[in-house]
Amino acid sequence: MALTGCSYQEDVCSRGKYPVLQVNGPGGDCVANGDEPPAGHTRYPEGKVPQQVNDKWDVYWRTRTLDKDGNVIDMPDASAWPR
């Protein structure tokens, strides 16, 4: 059986949760609606929140993050991160 014209988009977070971004670093998490982001994380800027994997904003944030003041910065060099 061939599947044609089918396009499935995976949500960044499951229902009842919203995505948060790690401050000054790679990655993020999903937080229950109504809860604040955990320490070291922040909400995405309004209008720049990824909704589905590989959407415009998911791709955008792969090479950027926010600093402690909320400014968009280039992602720090991965070699600087502890392993």
| Predicted structure pTM score | 0.80
> Helix, strand or coil for residue 61?
coil
Q: Taking the domains of the chain in order of start, what are their residue ranges?
A: 17-69
For the segment 25-77, what is each residue's pLDDT rounded down to a tens digit? 988 999 999 999 999 999 999 999 999 999 999 999 999 999 999 999 998 77
Residue 63 phi/psi, 5° resolution?
A: -115, 10
Contact 45, 70 (CB under 8 A): yes
Q: How far apart are CA 4 and CA 57, in angstroms?
A: 26
> Helix, strand or coil for residue 17?
strand
Residue 46 phi/psi, 5° resolution?
A: -55, 135
